[in-house]
């Protein structure tokens, strides 16, 4: 479907979802609504095996649309935060891998969106941070919860309380990004990674993502139990038979995604 603030292109089973809301790709309510529609569509599309999220121009997402904040009070601000959290939870729980290609300013809600993606690649020049305290606010779309889980409580607390912005290299050093590239190479590297992953079975990618995602909220023993259940489920697929046979026969597997 057509979107006002997004562009979605399908390239060899990889969907590139670009936030295109000039001048700074702010996450207003229209953009959030379109994002939800787009990820629902892509999740259901059997032709899509991976998703790349990036921004148009110099920005990934510069944050929320601050003008909308002037209409908020405590109650509807809480409802807005809960709505955004549900959307990013949905993004994190997708059964297809989602790669954030952070091409520029990735602040506030933009970083919260990126942290809900499964893998993050950053341009060296990108600026990442949660500057909400500069506005007398706190992060509301999951920033206080996901950032400590990704980089550790102390460093996350420092970033949030100081509104510090870091570049792609520091994001990589902290583990907030899995790789860092010059901005002109970023999207090509994201597509290369997405196509490498897309060679795997969609069925077993779904099981692996489920094991990782569900395990975050479980203790180790419960997580191991869930992993064993999903491991057993994999053995009920056609693709495990093909994968094992290809290994024994020393050839590349031809997965059918079943």
In DSSP terms, 27 is beta-bridged to: 64
Nearest to 55, CA basis, from 10, 103, 92: 103
Distance separating alpha carbons of residues 67 and 73, to the nearest angstrom: 13
What pTM did the predictor assign? 0.94
Predicted local confidence at residue 70, as pLDDT = 80
Query: Which of the following is catalytic: 132, 189, 233, 242?
Result: 132
So what's the pLDDT on residue 100?
98
Helix axes 153-162, 143-151, angle to 10 degrees: 130
pLDDT tens digits along 208-258: 999 999 999 899 999 999 999 999 999 999 999 999 999 999 999 999 989
Catalytic residue status for 112 = yes
**Structural domain 6-198, CATH architecture:** Alpha-Beta Complex (3.90)
- Report which listed range, 73-77, 79-83, 209-213, 253-257, is most confident: 209-213
Supply the pLDDT for residue 163: 98
* 4 close to 11: Cβ distance less than 8 angstroms: no
Residue 28: C-alpha distances to residues 67, 117, 170 (Å) = 9, 19, 28
Q: How many CB atoms lie within 10 A of CB 122?
A: 31
Query: What confidence score (pLDDT) does residue 180 get?
Result: 98
Sheet holding 59-61, edge to edge: 59-61, 105-107, 127-129, 165-167
Q: What is the pLDDT of residue 69?
A: 80
- pLDDT above 70 covers a percentage of the chain that reads 100
Is 80 exceeded by the pLDDT of residue 117?
Answer: yes
Does 68 have pLDDT greater than 90?
Answer: no
Residue 65: its pLDDT value, please?
Answer: 79
The per-residue pLDDT for range 146-189, each reduced to its tens digit, is 999 999 999 999 999 999 999 999 999 999 999 999 999 999 99
What are the angstrom distances between the C-alpha of 9 and each of 1, 13, 15, 204? Answer: 11, 10, 6, 25
Contacting residues for 199 by C-beta, under 8 A, at least 6 apart = 255
Contacts 24+ apart (CB under 8 A), 31-40: 31/5, 31/6, 32/83, 32/84, 32/87, 34/3, 34/4, 34/5, 34/6, 35/6, 35/87, 35/91, 35/113, 36/87, 36/90, 37/1, 37/3, 38/3, 38/6, 38/8, 39/90, 39/91, 39/94
- The residue extents of the domains of the chain are 6-198, 202-248
Q: Is residue 54's pLDDT more than 90? A: yes
Express each pLDDT in 2-25 by its tens digit: 899 999 999 999 999 999 999 999
State residue 129's pLDDT score.
Answer: 98
Of 36, 43, 56, 112, catalytic:
112
**Region label for 72, one of left (φ > 0), alpha (ψ between -120 and 50) or beta (otherwise):** beta
| Residue keyed to tokens 């920033």 | 143
Confirm whether 6-198 and 202-248 share one CATH topology. no
The predicted structure's pLDDT at residue 162: 98
Is it the case that residue 36 has pLDDT exceeding 90?
Answer: yes
Q: Is 178 among the residues known to form the active site? A: no
Looking at every residue in the chain, the average pLDDT score rounds to 95
CATH class of 202-248: mainly alpha
């Amino acid at each position: 479907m057509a979107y006002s603030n997004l562009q979605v292109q399908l390239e060899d089973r990889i969907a590139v979802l670009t936030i295109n809301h000039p001048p700074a790709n702010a996450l207003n309510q229209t953009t959030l609504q379109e994002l939800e529609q787009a990820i629902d569509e892509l999740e259901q599309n059997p032709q899509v095996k991976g998703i790349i999220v990036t921004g148009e121009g110099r920005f990934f997402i510069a944050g929320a649309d601050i003008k909308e904040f002037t209409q908020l009070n405590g109650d509807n601000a809480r409802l807005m935060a809960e709505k955004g959290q549900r959307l990013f939870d949905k993004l994190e729980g997708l059964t297809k891998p989602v790669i954030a290609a952070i091409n520029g300013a990735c602040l506030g809600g933009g970083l919260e969106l990126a942290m809900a993606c499964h893998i993050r690649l950053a341009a060296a020049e990108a600026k990442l941070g949660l500057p909400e305290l500069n506005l007398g606010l706190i992060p509301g779309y999951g920033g206080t919860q996901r950032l400590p889980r990704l980089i550790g409580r102390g460093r996350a607390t420092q970033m949030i309380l100081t509104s510090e912005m870091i570049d792609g290299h520091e994001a990589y050093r902290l583990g907030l990004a899995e790789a860092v590239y010059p901005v002109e190479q970023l999207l090509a590297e994201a597509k290369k990674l997405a196509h490498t992953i897309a060679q795997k079975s969609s069925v077993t990618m779904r099981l692996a993502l489920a094991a990782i995602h569900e395990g975050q909220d479980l203790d180790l023993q419960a997580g191991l139990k869930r992993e064993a259940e999903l491991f057993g489920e994999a053995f009920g697929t056609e693709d495990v038979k093909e994968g094992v046979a290809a290994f024994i026969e020393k050839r590349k597997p031809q997965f059918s995604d079943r």
